[in-house]
Amino acid sequence: MSEMELYNLWLKNATNDPDLQAELTAIAGDGDAIRDRFYRELEFGTGGLRGVIGAGTNRMNIYTVRRATQGFADYLNQEYTNPSVAVSFDSRIKSDVFSKAAAEVLSANGIKVYIYNELMPTPCLSFAVRELKCQGGIMVTASHNPAKYNGYKVYGDDGCQITLRGAEIILEKINSLDIFNDVKTSSFEEEVAKGNICYIGQEVIEAFYDKVLAEGINTELCAGSGLKVVYTPLNGTGNKPVREILKRIGISNVTVVKEQENPDGNFPTCPYPNPEIREALEVGLKYCKEVQPDLLLATDPDCDRVGIAVPDGNGGYALFSGNEVGAMLLEYICQQRIKNGTMPENPVTIKTIVTTDIINLIGKEYGVEVIDVLTGFKFIGEQIKILEDKGEENRYIFGFEESYGYLSGTYVRDKDAVNASMLICEMASYYRTQGITLLQARENMYKKYGVFFQTLHSFTFEGESGMKKMNEIMNTLRNDPPAEIAGLKVVRFDDYKTSVSRDNLTGTETEITLPKSNVLAFFLEGGSKVIVRPSGTEPKIKTYFTSKMPTHEEAEALETKLSGELTKIFKKDQNVRFMSVHFL
């Protein structure tokens, strides 16, 4: 169908949501607005859906959610007998509406539904899948995206985001469905009355808290450490669980950022609620000027990521990157578990390929095996499952990705900012009792292992032509890779889509054993690196730069040269928006 034909079809059939009808009526005669909403179907990627909230096939609404859920239900009924699904949602606009819509479709397909009766973090969804022995899970969230977005993550029976195989089958089933005629649905209230939809009780939440607390190493030090914390949940789901866990380990001096305390999908003081971005922490940093805490904690709306800032020694606060916090947590865990005699034999840590290589040096220092996986915490979860299947899950001590996601236990299979907030506060408390600030601990780490300066540059490609432009850039880099970047030779080129790693010095090619993915990695002389990949959920190309040099100044100068060359390529098109995040 043409965009106009689809528009008219929706105008006639999308009658269950007055907001959608109002939007469709408002864009009548606006060809560009109609085209943008109907030129494609919202893509069901490897993790689920994510898009702008609104009317149309290219938007998040009850109809696209129902259709995706019907495909998921068909998959579950094909793979399992009497399957059940856990459902959760965050504070975003219509998250509660979409979660109920998904529950209604699942129940109409004979699938038992367990749903939280209030917004809960992503890790609590992963935990509920495992705790209630469900065969699947749905988390309604767009993580840290702006307010106009919402999304829908699908989980498998291990509490990990759905496998590549599962996602392919679900997508095939979704594509066979007519959005208005092939989707079964039911009444939420009637299904609750029948017992087909059940609310998840407090006992599951308490079991989650117990598992988080069990990951503590020196939590007994926290109450007497005098640690002072400012915390912001960024108007999301972290407010209750993070504060409860900090209370239970004895961190009582916690000041909550009032403007960002309560759930609000409009994020009025934080247009981009991503703790990777300084803008998201600005209100919290203003609190820090008055409160003068040892630590600022910020969790994103679905509470699977956490960012921090610490006193910089000059009256201000320094933001730490996800790479820095993850590396510091790994070293802390290794040191203290060895000291306490709780380090397992043949310990394992898992990181993504775009995460700092300082982890390899820390692993070598403490005898920890480092496993690299593709970008996305689901691949860390899959490795935990592999260990579990061999009866070796106790070998896993920590996993993290550079985008502020951490996990130290196997009780969930996604990143957990509740767990990470506890560990960060415990680590800060421990160092405080030793007379060491987190800033000093970071500098000690870099003195020991060297300086790894890292940045992420994101390039957003606007409009209908955005995806085409992204593909052209990736194809050019893949088929005609540069021999050098910023004057440094490319000594190795890895193409994760073709599974080929080429040593440019010898011409030797070896196979990459990770799953195929549209990722390119350029290894430079001297240990620096550039990784390029398109986002799986947004019209973005993400470029990760690592500059390894003896000093901070030299590393920053090299990063400027490296990023400058790639930026020229990406910004040739005027419809490209640019954003940079510095990691250090």
Q: How many helices (H) and strands (E) does the chain have?
A: 18, 24
DSSP result, 24-40? HHHTTT-HHHHHHHHSS
pLDDT at 577: 47
Rg (CA), the chain: 24
For the stretch 148-205, pLDDT in tens is 999 999 999 999 999 888 999 999 999 999 999 999 999 999 999 999 999 999 999 9
DSSP state of 161: B
- Quick one: average pLDDT of 11-28? 95
pLDDT at 381: 95
**Burial readout 244-270 (b: 16 or more C-beta within 10 A, e: otherwise):** ebbebbbbeebbbbebbeebbbebebb
Kindly state the tokens that stand for 392.
């070796």
pLDDT at 536: 64
Residue 574 has pLDDT above 50, yes or no: no
pLDDT at 539: 75
pLDDT at 576: 46
d(CA 125, CA 46): 18
The larger pLDDT score, comparing residue 334 to residue 467, is at: 334
Q: For residues 278 and 251, is the Cβ–Cβ distance under 8 A?
A: no
**Mean predicted lDDT score pLDDT of the chain:** 93
d(CA 347, CA 297): 29
Q: Where are the alpha helices (DSSP H) in 58-108?
A: 62-79, 95-108
Kindly state the tokens that stand for 558.
């090299």
pLDDT at 579: 46
pLDDT at 463: 66
Confidence of residue 583 (pLDDT cuts 50, 70, 90): very low
For the stretch 49-66, pLDDT in tens is 999 999 999 999 999 999
Residue 537 has pLDDT above 70, yes or no: no
d(CA 531, CA 538): 18
Residue 530 has pLDDT above 90, yes or no: yes
- Quick one: average pLDDT of 336-341? 98
For the stretch 242-291, pLDDT in tens is 999 999 999 999 999 999 999 999 999 998 999 988 999 999 999 999 99
Q: Does residue 429 carry a catalytic annotation? A: no
Confidence of residue 570 (pLDDT cuts 50, 70, 90): confident
pLDDT at 294: 98
pLDDT at 358: 92
Q: For residues 87 and 113, is the Cβ–Cβ distance under 8 A?
A: yes
For the stretch 281-325, pLDDT in tens is 999 999 999 999 999 999 999 999 999 999 998 999 999 999 999
Confidence of residue 367 (pLDDT cuts 50, 70, 90): very high
pLDDT at 580: 45
pLDDT at 460: 83
Question: Which of 86-90, 228-232, 312-316, 329-333 is the least confident region?
Answer: 312-316
- % of the chain residues with pLDDT over 70: 97
| Active-site residue, from 99, 126, 143, 421 | 143
Phi, psi (rounded to 5 degrees) for 125: -70, -45
Phi, psi (rounded to 5 degrees) for 291: -80, -30
Q: For residues 426 and 216, is the Cβ–Cβ distance under 8 A?
A: yes
For the stretch 99-109, pLDDT in tens is 999 999 999 99
pLDDT at 227: 98
In 3D space, the residue among 422, 484, 454 whose CA is nearest the CA of residue 582 turns out to be 454
CB-based contacts of 573: which residues, under 8 Å, 6+ apart? 461, 469
Provide the sign of the torsion angle of the four alpha carbons 272, 276, 282, 283, taken in this order: positive
Residue 466 has pLDDT above 60, yes or no: yes
The pTM of the full predicted model, rounded to 2 decimals, is 0.91
d(CA 288, CA 311): 9
pLDDT at 289: 96
Question: Which of 217-226, 289-298, 303-312, 563-572 is the least confident region?
Answer: 563-572
Kindly state the tokens that stand for 437.
């600030």
pLDDT at 572: 62
Provide the sign of the torsion angle of the four alpha carbons 272, 566, 475, 469, taken in this order: positive
